[in-house]
Structure 1
Amino acid sequence: MDNYTYLIVIGILVLIAFLSFVTVRQGTVAVITIFGKYHRILQPGLNFKIPLIEVIYSRISIQNRSVELEFQAVTVDQANVYFKAMLLYSVFNQSEEAIKNVAFKFVDERNLMQALIRTVEGSIRAFVATKKQADVLILRKDIVEHVKDQIDQTLEDWGYHLQDLQLNDITFDEVIMKSMSQVVASNNLKAAAENEGQALLITKTKGAEAEGNAIKIAAEAERQAAQLRGQGIALFREEVAKGMSVAAKEMQQANMDTSVILFTMWTEAIKHFSENSKGNVIFLDGSTDGMKRNVQELMSVNMMSKDLEAKKEK
């Protein structure tokens, strides 16, 4: 064998060796076919394949993938709803069946994405079409759960799994958004008015309670004051009666007319009126009959004092 032939054989062996080994990156797997038919899967790392017989049909990523969606739906009350969403999906698992589905269900990645996006959008549109516009904003979680229930089995048949669906933005037509803002503003004003009314009611109630308590306290104080004044007047009258009784006894022992005491008291009262009164004139009955009537009244008071003293002695 000459050198030229030797070099050719060495080159062929090197080429075969080069074609026999293939590297699969981490996070991916390689699908091998023989004459166009599925044969096996190559895992990440350095792998051996039969050159010219085994062919790498496709390399499939097993990592999570995401896609952003923007689409429109219509509610049961004919309101347009605009969605912005983020879809997170991945290969269902690394089983042979799942990898075969991923590799052979669709012609290419573009067709897969088109089918996936349209399936998710259709599921959301079908759900929103049964709801009213006012209910959509509070049904984010229900929408996500509905989509998962509807397409999980379909995606599994394709070899994929829906990891998450995030509805990042839900908007309506400008007219509806404006009316919704007005509704929120009016509700806030209503709540503020109710709170203000309750605060005013509480303030007035507390003020009325305080005023009522003040009136009760003042009334109780007046009652006690009146009681004390009455007791004072009673004590004063009692002491006056005692003094008159003692004076009357002393005048009787001296053989003097006790009416003098009453006349003296009457004149002292007139003097007190003139000294402490705010007026300038005191009207007195100076007639003989008037003086006589006054003296008789005073004598009657004197007799009452004597009767009272007699009762006490008994």
Structure 2
Amino acid sequence: MNAIIGIVIVIIVLYLSVVIVQQGNVAVITVFGKYQRIMTPGLNFKIPFIEYVFRTISIQNRSAELQFQAITNDQANVYFKAMLLYTVTDQQEESIKNVAFKFIDQANFMQALVRSIEGSIRSFVATKRQAEILSLRTEIVLDVKENLDHILLGWGYHLIDLQINDITFDEEIIRSMAKVVASSNSRAAAENEGQALLITKTKAAEAEGNYIRIQAEAEREASRLRGQGLAQFREEVAKGMAVAAKEMEKANLDSSLILFSLWTESLKHFAEEGKGNVIFLDGSVEGMDRTMKQMMAMHQRDANEKLSAKK
């Protein structure tokens, strides 16, 4: 009977001596209420009735959802929704002691952590205007980390990340911001349309200028060619008339017949090529004689000029 009682006592003592710590956790052992040591994951042993598992602390990452309000420098209400990711700093004995004994329980730690983050963000937002807040997510997170890292280190924790998932304003502010964006877009569209119209008009003016320049150059070239052609025509006519005059002299005929022939050919050309235009010509003998004399005088002048040029 005593043997059975002894075996039972031994079993109870062994049962009370064995402590199994789950992976990702650390057990804090106290002796008569005073910190003694920590137990790492796996099978551990303690002294029954003397050593006591004060708290099992998870060293895994933890997350929490936050919702709070802040006021900007221009008195606009801003509503934040954020996700907090934190963990125990490390498995060193000093860090575990801070986690185990700094706060009475986990709820009090979470309250202090959340309020510290809210206070840091509110103090940052209070220095900014509402128009700046939406573009300052990264700056807000960096400011919170800078302010809280040394505080959390004293509590045995480390802030891994703070993600601000949503930033909203009062409904009236949202409507006014939408109007500002709409008006800004309208102004940008008008400016773009004006620039496009300016480019179109400029290109059209450049094209018109190029067209006028090319047309003027073509007209100038055409005039030059026409002048050259007319000069060559006159030169050939003069050569032909000179040859005809020599032939007339060889035949002992008056060279004025050549001019008379040109006169009659001109009259024929007027009659054949006329399009209904009225041309007045002096067809009298006196008029023809006057015209012949003028033509002979012009011929004589040209001859004298050529003779002078040769001298």
Compute the TM-score of the two structures, normalised by the length of structure 2. 0.95
Distance 1:66 1:148 in 2: 15
Aligned to 1:129: 126
Measured after TM superposition, the shift of residue 288 of structure 1 is 4.5
Distance 1:268 1:111 in 2: 127
Aligned to 2:22: 25
Aligned to 2:82: 85
Question: Is 1:147 aligned with 2:162?
Answer: no
Measured after TM superposition, the shift of residue 213 of structure 1 is 1.8
Question: Is 1:211 aligned with 2:215?
Answer: no
Classify the secondary structure of the residue corresponding to 1:149: helix
Aligned to 1:59: 56
Structure 1 residues 1-314: aligned runs within 5 Å: 4-279=1-276, 281-307=278-304, 310=307
Classify the secondary structure of the residue corresponding to 2:78: strand
Q: Which stretch of structure 1 is more off in the superposition, 203-212 or 110-119? A: 203-212
Give ranges in structure 2 of 5+ residues lacking alignment. Answer: none
Measured after TM superposition, the shift of residue 252 of structure 1 is 2.2
- Amino acid in the other structure paired with 2:281: L
Whether the aligned pair in 2 keeps the contact of 1:245 and 1:309 (CA below 8 Å) is: no
Whether the aligned pair in 2 keeps the contact of 1:248 and 1:261 (CA below 8 Å) is: yes
Percent of pairs with identical residues = 64
Whether the aligned pair in 2 keeps the contact of 1:263 and 1:298 (CA below 8 Å) is: no
- Amino acid in the other structure paired with 2:121: I
Distance 1:171 1:150 in 2: 24
Compute the TM-score of the two structures, normalised by the length of structure 1. 0.94
Distance 1:75 1:249 in 2: 113
Give ranges in structure 1 of 5+ residues lacking alignment. Answer: none
4+ residue runs over 4 A deviation: 308-314
- Amino acid in the other structure paired with 1:147: V
Whether the aligned pair in 2 keeps the contact of 1:89 and 1:161 (CA below 8 Å) is: yes
Measured after TM superposition, the shift of residue 199 of structure 1 is 2.1
Distance 2:11 2:96 in 1: 32
Distance 1:6 1:280 in 2: 155
Q: Which stretch of structure 1 is more off in the superposition, 85-94 or 184-193? A: 184-193
Measured after TM superposition, the shift of residue 309 of structure 1 is 5.7
Q: Deviations along 1:188-227, whole A, 9 cap, x unmatched?
A: 2222222222222222222222222222222222111111
Q: Deviations along 1:128-162, whole A, 9 cap, x unmatched?
A: 11111111111111111111121112111111111
- Amino acid in the other structure paired with 2:182: A
Q: Which stretch of structure 1 is more off in the superposition, 241-250 or 302-311? A: 302-311
Over aligned residue pairs, what C-alpha RMSD do you find?
1.7
